[in-house]
Structure 1
């Protein structure tokens, strides 16, 4: 175990921004980092626990790191404590209109934005529960920025309304940006910043979890037992061991999924518009053509961004792609719904093409995402059509939904806001029209 002590010299104590940066640093460390101050302790990877220490100027932090990388970990923590924990000048307060607010958003964002002054995020957030749409865009008038999520709408009409109201920044608290008209934003002088990566493990782990639920019919099994029915009929699954896993899109999430599949004893093949040869060199996967992956894989997992237009990924899995797949193939999508042509998928499910399908996202989900519609009849909705298949598992765009991911989303989003407000480069968080 390695340890250091640090005497807080910032007049504001250990406030939200340094606490957030410390938590994000510790999430990526193998060692367990703990902080102690005035008889209270906190996990280094939990921003809320760090803030709960209430460390003031003059207080002493006792920091320990224990694990495989403890020496490097304590060095990185020490560098951060003597860097970002120092007092800094503050620009004007950035006013942010936050759309599609849920209770869990407030938990982290409110803590990070509650302080004003040197070294803080220096932002003022107004929370709106409504989604950003052409009808609600005027609510952002007088704000410097809007903060939106995957099911908010920012086509040209909305972007132009935002610009007319004085908005200069669109903060995406997600990795995808297909819901923003980037060309319109460029023309209106609005910058767009996203969260390039938050927790790839969260998404990849959820993808495998729902894939196994579909494969082994776990939902159905659970309901049968609740009905005092212990028969195994309708619950037959397949081993993943020695099967072929096809990963379409080998960015951070795709790589995490590939490692999970490798752990199951699967042979992993990959397709990507921009192959990462290092993954082949380390033996994680073998790159093949798109057609070869579709033809050889027993399980196909989608991890591509949604790119519209010619040569894009919209309806990458269509009628023709499905026809190339093996019979009894397994398919999982935790990326973006429109990667799969829903009508083609339903037709193939009716024909018995798939052994299992697991969807955390699906085409036409926007009206459902994060909304309680339990008192409404399904009628002929897309969810009603998909959930009628016993070999299909559907979840509500929740793959990202872990404490680590929510913390990372809040921290990176507020870092983007701060960088914009202070005139700093937004780096790889900025997305621009081509």
Structure 2
């Protein structure tokens, strides 16, 4: 355990931006960081708790670091306290129109933008519950930027309307950007920035959770017990131990899923357009061809970006690739819905090809995402047909939905906004037309 103290020199105290940067740093540390000030204690990785300390200029932060990387953690925390906590000249206030806003978005974003002046995010946010669509794009008139999510629409017509409204920046509070016409944005002089990574653990953990729910029929078991039915018929699962896990896409999320699978005692094989040989060297997985992965894997997990066109990943799971898979294979998708041809998947489910299918995302989900449709009939939609199968589990695009991920999304999004407002390079967050 290591301890040190820091006297707050910031005239505004520990306001939203330094608190957010501190919390984001601590999330990535292996050691636990706690901060005590004025008789209150906060976890360093929780921006709301840090803000609740209400540390003012002249107050002392007593920092405790305990864990396996204490020395490095202390150095990083001290560097941040003596670095990004320093103030800079204020810029003009950036006006941002937030589309598709939910209550949980406001929890973090409202805290981050409540301060104005030197060293803050210096932004004003107007929240709209409606999604960005061709019909709603005019709501952005008078704003410098818009902030959108995965189910918002930004084709050429919308981008051109945004440009007419004076918008110069599209902030994506997600990693994917396939819903934005990047060429149109380039032509209109609009920059596009995303959140390259927020919490790969959140997505990978959710993927394994829903896969196991489908495998062990946990939803069905829960409902049976509620009806006082304790029979085990219809609940037969399979061991994951000693099975082969095939991972399509071995970026940060794919690697997290691989480590989870290894923890189950699985043999992990992977495919990626750009193999990371270090993963093989450390013994995490073995790279194989796509065909070999489809033929060998007992469990296939998708962690690919959605890339359209020839050689892309659109409908990488289709009737031909499904035919190469083992009978009773398990499939989980927590990446992008159109990676799987929904009609081909349904046909294979009817034929009894799969033991379990778990989908946090699926083709045809757009009208459902983050919308309460419990009073509507879904008729013959893809959703309705998928939910008919007892070995299929659907969740509503929620793999990212953890406190740590929401915090990271908010911090990175507002850092992107601040960098744009101050004329700085957006770095790896910026996405451009090829």
TM-score normalised per structure 2: 0.99
For residues 367 and 383 of structure 1, the distance between their equivalents in structure 2, rounded to whole angstroms, comes to 10
User: Following the alignment from structure 1 to structure 2, what is the Cα–Cα distance between the partners of residues 330 and 362?
Assistant: 16
Q: Which residue of 2 aligns with 1:21?
A: 21
In 2: Cα distance, 1:87 partner to 1:323 partner: 60
| Partner Cα distance (2:259, 2:349) in 1 | 28
Q: Residue 5 of structure 1 aligns with which residue? A: 5
Distance 1:307 1:99 in 2: 25
**1:360 match:** 360
Give the Å deviation of 1:373.
Answer: 0.7
Aligned-partner Cα distance in 2 for 1:115–1:38: 21
Q: CA deviation at 1:216?
A: 0.3
Matched residue, 2:244: 244
For residues 104 and 49 of structure 1, what CA distance do their matches in structure 2 show? Answer: 16
Q: Deviations over 1:191-245 (max 9, x none)?
A: 1000000000000000000000000000000111111111111000000000000
SS class of match (1:147):
strand
Aligned residue for 1:330, secondary structure, equals: strand
Secondary structure in 2 matching 1:220? helix
Which residue in the other structure is 1:219 paired with? 219
Shift of the alpha carbon at 1:378? 2.1
Relative to the length of structure 1, the TM-score reads 0.99
Residue 376 (structure 1) shift: 1.0
Is 1:100 aligned to 2:100, yes or no?
A: yes
SS of equivalent residue, structure 1 residue 207? helix
Give, in whole Å, the separation in 2 of the partners of 1:176 and 1:349.
Answer: 28
> 1:415 offset after TM fit, Å?
0.3
User: Counterpart of 2:192 in 1: which secondary structure?
Assistant: strand
2:90 and 2:63 map into 1 onto residues whose CA distance is 28
In structure 2, what is the Cα distance between the partners aligned to 1:65 and 1:256?
Answer: 25
1-structure distance, mates of 2:169, 2:332 = 34
**Corresponding residue for 1:295?**
295
Counterpart Cα distance in 1 of 2:294 and 2:430: 33
Q: Are 2:121 and 1:125 aligned?
A: no
Report the equivalent of 1:208: 208
The residue that corresponds to 1:345 in the other structure is: 345
Superposed counterparts of 1:109-124, under 5 Å: 109-124=109-124
- Aligned partner of residue 332 in structure 1, secondary structure: strand
**Counterpart-to-counterpart distance in 1, 2:160 and 2:319:** 37
Mind listing any 5+ residue stretches in structure 2 that lack a counterpart?
none
Secondary structure, aligned partner of 2:126: strand
C-alpha separation in 2, matches of 1:10 and 1:374? 50
Q: Which residue pairs with 2:147 in the alignment?
A: 147
CA positional deviation for 1:384 = 0.8
Q: Secondary structure at the match of 1:61?
A: strand
SS in 1 for 2:330: strand
Cα drift, residue 306 of structure 1: 0.5
Deviation at 1:22, TM superposition (A): 0.2
Listed as ranges, the matches of 1:349-388 within 5 Å are 349-388=349-388
State yes or no: 1:75 paired with 2:44: no
Distance in 2 (CA, whole Å) between partners of 1:139 and 1:172 is 17
Deviation at 1:75, TM superposition (A): 1.3
Equivalents in 2 of 1:113, 1:195: separation in Å?
Answer: 18
The count of corresponding residues between Structure 1 and Structure 2 is: 434
After TM superposition, the structure 1 stretch with the greater mean CA deviation from structure 2, 346-355 or 311-320, is: 311-320
Per-residue deviation, 1:72: 1.2
Instruction: Tell me the distance in 2 between the aligned counterparts of 1:309 and 1:114.
Output: 43
| Aligned 1:309-328 pairs, distance under 5 A | 309-328=309-328
CA distance in 2, matches of 1:133, 1:12: 39
SS of 2:300's equivalent in the other structure is strand
How many Å apart are 1:275 and its aligned residue? Answer: 0.5
- Aligned CA RMSD, in angstroms, stands at 0.5
Q: Name the structure 2 match of 1:159.
A: 159
**Cα shift at 1:340:** 0.3
Matched, 1:181 2:181: yes
CA-CA distance at 1:377 after TM superposition: 1.6
Structure 2 CA distance, aligned partners of 1:139 and 1:393?
A: 37
